Amino acid sequence: MKPLIDPIATPDGLFHGKNTQTGELATIVTPKYANDNQAALLSTQREILTILAAGGIKADEATNDQFLTALKKVFLTTNDTRLDNLLHSDKNLADVKDKAAARTSLELKGAAVLGVGITKDTVAAGDDARITGALQKGNNLSEITAAGVPAQTAARVNLGLKTGAVHDVQPTPTDVSPEMLLKMGSFGLGIPMAAQGGDFHTWLRTAASGFYYLDAMQNAPESPAYILVLRNPKGDGVGALTFGYEVGQMGFDSFVKGKWLSWKMQSR
């Protein structure tokens, strides 16, 4: 719409007729003023015609209520039936007809209709003791460690773990550290260890206690054979019990007080 035009250029902004007594001339309508008025009138008409078009009304000079009719169509009135399908702010969404469909439109899930609590059909709050007291995966069960030995023991019982669960396994087949668990092959049990070396006596002086398999070695009573080595934990004494599984001889040799005893053999 065209901005407000200026009034006629007279001292009081009004039109005046000719005054014969004072000699004042009538107000002259200038071309600028006439053009401004014409432009303002056309601009106003265009605005009104735009509203008529929005209301689906064609201008008719014989009708005097077209503008009012258009306004009623464009703007709602209190008795407009279109208001029946609108939500009212003072009802706080109580007038939603299909609440389930509305929740779907908002992408709300099942928790949206549940209250906060600790009973069935409720959701837990962030400070719920069931959450704040729960084990956190990032702590790797350190909460149980912090609770002390009774809690650790109870946790192992609940998991069905036995006493062996708190012991380490031997790092080597001949490790003799206390409280260590044997594994298959330790000290040659289950899987005999290989006796390796050039001389049986030299090997036996340093061999750990255990069960060995001997293929061939000097000063050995018989080979191939199985050998049980028993070492004195308080000294350098060591004994060897052999069983030759081809010939069938059993023998015993020992190193005591710095010397080797003669082989004692027993044939089957």
**Tens digits of residue pLDDT in 38-73:** 999 999 999 999 999 998 999 998 999 999 888 888
Instruction: Outline where 113-214 has alpha helix (H).
Output: 129-132, 142-147, 149-158, 200-206
81 with 1, same domain: the answer is yes
3-state helix, strand, coil in the chain (%, to 5): 35, 15, 50
Task: Return the pLDDT at 157.
Answer: 93
Which residues have CB under 8 Å from 125's CB, separation 6+?
A: 116
The strand pairing partners of 11, in sequence order, are none
Inside any domain, residue 134: no
41 with 74, same domain: the answer is yes
Eight-class DSSP state of 257: T
- Domain stop point among 70, 86, 102: 86
162 with 235, same domain: the answer is no
* Helices 31-54 and 66-74: angle between axes, nearest 10 degrees: 50
Q: Domain residues for 218?
A: 186-266
Task: Return the pLDDT at 263.
Answer: 66
Eight-class DSSP state of 249: -
Domain count, the chain: 3
Inside any domain, residue 80: yes
Q: How far apart are CA 173 and CA 185, in angstroms?
A: 7
**pLDDT-flagged residues of the chain (< 70):** 76-78, 190, 245-248, 262-268
Inside any domain, residue 95: no
Indicate the pTM of the whole model. 0.38
Task: Return the pLDDT at 261.
Answer: 75
Inside any domain, residue 126: no
Query: How does pLDDT run across 188-220, given as a tens digit for each residue?
Result: 776 778 888 788 888 888 888 888 888 888 887
Closest CA to 51 of 63, 42, 61, 59: 59
Radius of gyration of the chain (CA): 55
Task: Return the pLDDT at 176.
Answer: 83
User: What is the SS3 assignment for 36-101?
Assistant: HHHHHHHHHHHHHHHHHHHCCCCCCCCCCCHHHHHHHHHCCCCCCHHHHHCCCHHHCCCCCCCHHH
For residue 101, the one-letter residue type is: A
1 with 82, same domain: the answer is yes
Task: Return the pLDDT at 248.
Answer: 66
Which residues have CB under 8 Å from 122's CB, separation 6+?
A: 114, 115, 116
